[in-house]
Chains A and B, each alone.
Chain A
Amino acid sequence: MHKRIAEAFVGEYASGKSENAIYRALSLKKAGGKVTLVDFDIVEPCYTLRPLKQELTELGLNVLAWSTSETFGLGEAGQTILPQARWALRREGHIIVDVGYGADGARALNLLEGSAVDPDLRVVLVLNARRPMTDSAMRIEEYIESMGRVDGIIANTHLADETTPQTVEDGYHIIKEVAKRRNIPIDAISVSQQFNEKYPKFGLDDKELRVLGAFMPRSFW
């Protein structure tokens, strides 16, 4: 019997939340058991799981997201929560929730039934220290404060195809400094497949290295 994993991925706009959520869901699937991946993005209609629904379903995930054919007037009238998504925590197996960005931070989770009392649920913050709003220890700390609740961090610093080991390392150290101060564990470091092929030996502090697929670029709008 696996321990039930319930994780909600939060973070700054374009921080890599969705890619990390997909990675996590797929790796849990590989390890066995049922996995539900939930699209909880309520601000941003572009780059959501919606266009990937079929592909991810074929990979064995139970995906709770709108299908493109079911949506209408994206960005005008289409930003509603899929009713099933609201009750996702009641489902059997592992639950990975991809929470969109927004001024209210992790409070979007209030819309997820049972999120406040679920003993397994962890709020995981994805951070890219090259994102302008989280590019220094001070800004990251301010950002974490605005989130309300953070139980773990994924260090996901990159500059797309310009990423070097130095980019990842510099970001990691900034994030580590804040994580230590606020006593939040760093769950893992994530990098792209492309980066991993270029620098296969890369690693830091014996942290788990998550090599992300490149699902999201195909999900634009």
Chain B
Amino acid sequence: MKKEYIVDTPRMPVSWREETKAHKFCPGCGHGLILKALGQAIDELGIQDRIVFVCDIGCCLLAWDLFNTDGVQTHHGRAVPVATGVKRANPDSICIAYMGDGGGYAIGAQHLVNATARNERITVLLANNTNYAMTGGQMAPTTLIGQKTETCPYGRSIEQHGEPTRGPEMVAAIAGHGAYVARGTVSQMNQLKKQIKTALQTQLDGSGFSFVEALATCPTNWRTNAHETWQFLNNNMGAYFQTGEFKKPEEQEV
């Protein structure tokens, strides 16, 4: 006799690849939520057949087979140029470069800056969890003042390490006409999905570069329980990193 189980199927975006679930992130990790928002945005725009999902090195590479879309996993910091190369050679593709704060603001910073300056018609989605999570929790460009990591064991200091990088502010400052720049958070999923959708729409319209930073949780490296995790995300990170839209395609240059 076959035994019947009642299965409660989680509602996954259609563009997610079922065979590769459950995903490989730690419990409580923000990546799953960001990628859920991305999946929903892809679903709503109906562009699964045009996506090239390019992922960086770091925890983000665990997403290399997460979607039911084509994708390429690259080297650390090099997701932006690979996405740029694909897009330039095939303008009909919708290229998403997915990376962490180290990949975008440190090792791949000049790619990010110059892709922005050239107004490349790609979408960069960046998870900011204030540390290098995959390599064991080292200081990132986004590590908060006073925050302890393996490479700033006494806490990040302004004197030693400067202030944490505010990515979208930097990108918005150099982004050209028609670009879209925003920061969301995994604690505001509707807003985050909307931002990602606008970013992809920007690419679909071909109006300019699009960039969304998502504040993300990393309980493993923060060594926080559920309550503390949420507090750190909303209070500590939220106080320094303002969410919202920094540049929109319809805004005319003064």
Q: Do chains A and B touch in the complex (CB under 8 A)?
A: no
Interface set of A (CB-CB < 8 Å, partner B): none
